[in-house]
Amino acid sequence: GTGAGMGTLLISKIREEYPDRIMLTFSVVPSPKVSDTVVEPYNATLSVHQLVENADECFCIDNEALYDICFRTLKLTTPTFGDLNHLVSAVMSGVTCSLRFPGQLNSDLRKLAVNIVPFPRLHFFMVGFAPLTSRGSQQYRALTVPELTQQ
């Protein structure tokens, strides 16, 4: 596989070519509960340095937390990578919503960075998202206020 090498090389080359551009990443942290690939922890560890140096905003997503959300909150007995990817895509869509639609708040990546990055090297964030719905139940599920607050 390409592992951490390909992604970090890409980030490094983009930073060299476009040093004035803001770079936002969504990084998925591996877990042995989801995948048993031996080199995943090494790839994640080796890529952190490049993320510190070359990314301006990094949203970290824990694979084990995604699995637990699918299992406990969404009541999926055997979550698949499709289910995990569905949650990640919903989070990515929510974070970048202000970039894609007109509005006053955080209308570009630079404004977003100014508002949430306290120091240049402290640009790693955990995401929170509600409502959590599985892929199959989106069409017919209506959430109440107590259900939303418990998520």
- Count of C-beta atoms within a 10 Å radius of residue 73: 15
Phi/psi of residue 122, nearest 5 degrees? -100, 75
The single-letter code of the amino acid at 74 is L
Fold adopted by 3-150: Rossmann fold (3.40.50)
Question: How far apart are the C-alpha atoms of 102 and 126, rounded to whole Å?
Answer: 25
Measured distance CA(134)–CA(84) in Å, rounded: 10
- Kindly tell me the burial class for residue 68, based on how many C-beta atoms sit within 10 Å of its own C-beta (0-12, 13-18, 19 or more): middle
The DSSP-derived string for 84-96 is HHHHHHHHHHHHT
Dump pLDDT digits (tens) for 25-63. 999 988 888 887 888 888 888 899 999 999 999 999 999
d(CA 145, CA 2): 44
Report residues of the chain scoring pLDDT below 70: 1-2, 106, 136-141
pTM of the model: 0.82
pLDDT averaged over every residue in the chain: 86
- Assess contact for 15 and 23: CB atoms under 8 A: yes
